Chains A and B, each alone.
Chain A
């Protein structure tokens, strides 16, 4: 692989295969590292170990069956995948979604963002050696999974949305549970910060590591926290509001240095902003149905559309083509944020030490299920 790239193989370099079975590659990512001592001089990122052909599979499934498949892409943030897909089809069919459904969707998506960031924080800190944060973050994630279980019965792959709305209204008392969770989460964030934010070792390990300028970040097509960490203002929730985000107030945190520490701070701030959105959503929750007027047979007229949402990892877009005759899409294509962010991995890790490689895989927050689909 990497050895073929250079015609004269220098024996002083050590080629080492990180992954696909490696504790810190967050799934089945494989990186072929070319090392000079401990320094990385070249890296070859190899993906495809968890390719299940979700896109092609979707072209042979009913429009509603695809929701189930989207769960399996970014499996730590299934609800946002559902949301993105359902909204795309709604846009294609011009279905009006009831306001209550849009509110509940927003709350679910933000809960999902917190859960996904919890997982990110835990694994990222674990990669750098802070093992306690991992369990703290998973403790809170567990509560979100419980909330989702209360809502739709599933804990990981929710299948929680339908084209035109939601399959279920929220159960009685659920909103109070979510409020209680928000209060709890708010009290737990300082616990994470206490262990990391001002920790000297954490600062040394993250500050100035993996710096990427705003220009490069845009050039590489990064999205989500890695892009905002470099100071580029781009948040689909603000720029092209979907669900009920245009009705809520929230801030988009931006970084200044574009290093790992900034990306860490941004995600911590997003915890707080998500809590803020959830509270607004619960307080302003309108009455009404949760399912819009949807034809019995979902068969969009011929046409194509692209729609993106801000998933916890970045811009998650769906491009769907319907030929207007079949009950399945003619073409189904996903723009997964993890895949695009993974483009930034090679420029980030070249020149750093082996220990930083795992830090940088963590900081861009990839989920391989989404990269390969």
Chain B
């Protein structure tokens, strides 16, 4: 009873809160990092160095009036933000944050497949948001979003196949253990796949330079133009939660999850003194920082260029990578 229900529920509660709190602080981090990149200070007023801004923002959003446009499809309009946030939170169930069983809710044998399938539900939220708003800009943005997410979903999934081939398992924990056994992070074994997943991940989370669906300058905010208050905040939470998911997935697949660097070299064994979850969060943080850094640096791709990149560059490379991996697997 305790083993099967209470402990998992406790873990879920802790994890959900941790994710949501870290999302709010992600927004602060993003604002701060971008501010530093742009030679300004970022939020400084709320709390010392603006650290309480992360709390002030949600409070503001909750207190704001929640407007539903008259001509919107009320039910879908309400449902859309929920649909986009829930999958982003659900996938955390199979992310192993540490080596011990304490640090993941469950380890299912199709973990990676589960993540791929559940995250792709999120796109419905975006499409429905654009559709239900009954407004032209959101509609354009949501059409862009669906096209973009589907294209990049294919590229990323194709790429993941080569990782699955290498690891021989779909379980998230299993993939990390496979890396431990082989003594190498898969980032070194599958460098092409690593880059592809990183790029595809940027596109799937709608982050710069692929942030077309919410291209503020063209589409005045994109699919969430008509949203306000907490419903808008849900989209925001979903975007950042997705960023964390992608960072976690990349960490697990390519940077050895909770493993220390070079797990096969015994001379570095003293690094094991650092708990495994710290390694994990450290690696995840690197990717989150990278996402923000890219946003501060690069201009935005145009929609057709984005599609070209997805279909004509990433997918062929991904397929080629599968073939090469398969041959290498047979020969070696």
Contacts and interface: CB of A to CB of B under 8 A. Distances in A.
Nearest to B144: A38
B136 A16 contact: yes
Contacts of B239: none
Nearest to A126: B217
Interface in B233-263: none
A358 B38 CA distance: 23
Interface string B198-222: 0000000000110110011111100
A204 B301 CA distance: 8
Interface residues of B, number: 30
A205 B299 contact: yes
Interface string B287-319: 000000001111111111100000000000000
Given A22-B220, A38-B140, A135-B39, A196 B299 contact: yes
A132 B137 contact: no
B165 interface: no
A130 B217 CA distance: 11
Contact of A132 (B211, B216, B296): B296
Contact of B208 (A16, A129, A195, A196): A129
A197 to B, nearest CB: 12
B79 to A, nearest CB: 25
A243 to B, nearest CB: 34
A12 to B, nearest CB: 14
A128 B300 contact: yes
B302 to A, nearest CB: 5
A358 B303 CA distance: 14
B257 to A, nearest CB: 32
B71 interface: no
A46 interface: no
Nearest to A134: B38
B303 A38 contact: yes
Contacts of B284: none
A24 B217 contact: yes
B40 interface: yes
Contact of A201 (B34, B140, B209): B209
A49 interface: no
Main secondary structure of the interface of A (DSSP, over half): helix
Contact of B298 (A24, A126, A129): A129
Nearest to B216: A23
Contact of B299 (A22, A130, A354): A130
A202 B208 CA distance: 13
B37 interface: yes
Given A201-B298, A205-B299, A135 B40 contact: yes
Contacts of A134: 38
B136 A357 contact: no
Contact of A129 (B144, B211, B303): B211
Nearest to A129: B300
A355 B307 CA distance: 14
A38 B90 CA distance: 34
B215 A199 contact: no
B39 A357 contact: no
Interface in B103-126: none
A356 B215 CA distance: 12
Given A199-B299, A201-B301, A129 B38 contact: no
Given A201-B209, A355-B218, A125 B299 contact: yes
A37 to B, nearest CB: 9
A354 B37 contact: no
B219 to A, nearest CB: 8
A14 B215 CA distance: 19
Contacts of A14: 136, 140
A268 to B, nearest CB: 16
Given A205-B302, A358-B218, A132 B209 contact: no
A11 to B, nearest CB: 14
A90 B309 CA distance: 58
A205 B300 CA distance: 8
Contact of A135 (B38, B218, B297, B302): B38
Contacts of A127: 217
A282 B196 CA distance: 54
B302 A356 contact: yes
A139 B34 contact: no
Interface in B46-76: none
A204 B217 CA distance: 18
Contacts of A130: 297-300
Given A131-B34, A136-B39, A204-B305, A195 B297 contact: yes
A134 B34 CA distance: 12
B292 to A, nearest CB: 12
Most buried by B among A14, A131, A202: A131
A143 interface: no
A45 interface: no
A353 interface: yes
A216 B299 CA distance: 29
Contacts of B212: 355
Interface string A201-215: 110110000000000
A357 B301 contact: no
Nearest to A24: B217
B40 A129 contact: no
Contacts of B215: 129, 355
Contact of B300 (A16, A195, A201, A353): A201
Contacts of A23: 216-217, 220
Nearest to B221: A23
Contacts of B144: 38
The 4 closest A-B pairs by CB, nearest first: A129-B300, A135-B38, A130-B299, A24-B217
13 contacts: A129-B209, A129-B215, A130-B297, A131-B295, A132-B297, A134-B38, A201-B300, A205-B299, A205-B300, A205-B301, A353-B303, A356-B302, A358-B218
Given A14-B140, A38-B140, 5 more contacts: A129-B298, A201-B301, A205-B300, A205-B305, A355-B218
Interface of A: 14, 16, 22-24, 35, 38, 125-132, 134-136, 139, 195-196, 199, 201-202, 204-205, 353-358
Interface of B: 34, 37-40, 136-137, 140, 144, 208-209, 211-212, 215-220, 295-305
